[in-house]
Homo-oligomer: A and B are copies of this chain.
Amino acid sequence: MTSRLSSREHYADLLDKYDTWLFDCDGVLWSGDKTIDGAIEVLQLLRHHKKSVLFVTNNATKSRANYKKKFDSLGVEAHVDEIYGSAYASAVYISSVMKLPKDKKVYVIGMGGLEEELREEGISFIGGTDPADNTLASFSLANWTPDPTVGAVLCGLDTAINYTKLSKAFSYILRNEGCAFLVTNEDSTYPTSDGLLPGAGSISAPLRYALGRNPIAIGKPQRTMLDCIKAKHDFDPKRTIMVGDRLNTDIEFGKAGGLATLLVLTGITKESELSGPNASPTVADFVTKSIGDLRALIS
């Protein structure tokens, strides 16, 4: 059962119970280029109460350093080591979990931020923002020399997605023995201030469909993301809460990690999806309209 928060006492109770606050960003702290009303004050309040504040985003188009600039531009206080993105987690997964040999490369479908995180982890890659692969020219296997050292394909949101990238990624997974198929995250849509657009999960859907095979996914709700945070940051799951706007990513992520979960309704999930015949099977521990509601504590 979800507890619906509405009074100062409810919020004070939450503040008491949880020391570490994990936040999704898009749809929770901001929507596109607009901060959610009250979000800045609430984060200040948490910091004032000596809470650990961490930001956990599936957005893999930006590196942590670049994501920090987004916080800065919106006037939201954040430090690079508080930010965990699926691009960073993907790089950590490749270097530390799957331990891709140093003489192997990653073929990237994704943007500059994903490349930046791979580079920081010392992972060799091709594709991505390479102009040769950012083309609408026709692709032919006959005119292509595949790189036999590609040992993984990593696919994230890429707004320059095209048939050349899809064909190369498909061919590497199909032809290079043992080539891994990884996706930064599986979000079906991507929220912008003007509405939804296809998300990272949709960009990798052609590979999934053509190969008839599911990838290893890194971002929320996968455990990989939490392992990545835990490796850098000690916290007690019992005194940790995950705040998010998506039931099937944020809330499932929190629940899978044994964390408390707080759903806000300023993003993807709408009030109407919480009950009735079409209600999601995933239920958050707490729900409140907006993170800004916690301003009730400021008086």
> Which residues of A come within 8 Å of B, CB atoms?
134-136, 138-142, 158-163, 166-167, 170-171, 174, 188-189, 192-199, 201-203, 205-210, 212
Q: How often does this chain occur in the complex, in copies?
A: 2
Are B210 and A166 interface neighbours, CB within 8 A?
no
**In the complex, which of the residues B189, B197, B202 contacts A141, with contact meaning CB atoms closer than 8 Å?**
B197
Are B159 and A198 interface neighbours, CB within 8 A?
no
**In the complex, which of the residues B134, B142, B189 contacts A136, with contact meaning CB atoms closer than 8 Å?**
B134
Task: Give A33 Cβ to nearest chain B Cβ, in Å.
Answer: 10
Q: In the complex, which residues of chain B have a beta carbon less than 8 angstroms from the beta carbon of A167? A: 197-198
Task: Give A94 Cβ to nearest chain B Cβ, in Å.
Answer: 24
Q: In the complex, which residues of chain B have a beta carbon less than 8 angstroms from the beta carbon of A138? A: 159
Q: In the complex, which residues of chain B have a beta carbon less than 8 angstroms from the beta carbon of A160? A: 136, 162-163
Q: In the complex, which residues of chain B have a beta carbon less than 8 angstroms from the beta carbon of A206? A: 198, 202-203, 205-206
A interface: dominant SS = mixed
Q: Known pairs A141-B195, A170-B198, A188-B212. 16 more at Cβ < 8 A?
A: A140-B192, A142-B193, A160-B162, A161-B162, A166-B202, A171-B195, A188-B209, A188-B210, A198-B206, A198-B207, A198-B210, A201-B209, A201-B210, A202-B210, A205-B205, A205-B206
Instruction: Identify the 8 closest CB pairs spanning chains A and B, nearest first.
Output: A141-B194, A205-B205, A202-B206, A205-B209, A202-B210, A198-B210, A159-B163, A202-B209
Q: In the complex, which residues of chain B have a beta carbon less than 8 angstroms from the beta carbon of A142? A: 193-194
Task: Give A179 Cβ to nearest chain B Cβ, in Å.
Answer: 15
- With A and B bound together, what is the CA distance between A199 and B167 in angstroms? 10
Q: Which residue of B lies closest to A198 (CB)?
A: B210
- With A and B bound together, what is the CA distance between A174 and B134 in angstroms? 28
Q: In the complex, which residues of chain B have a beta carbon less than 8 angstroms from the beta carbon of A189? A: 210
Q: In the complex, which residues of chain B have a beta carbon less than 8 angstroms from the beta carbon of A158? A: 163
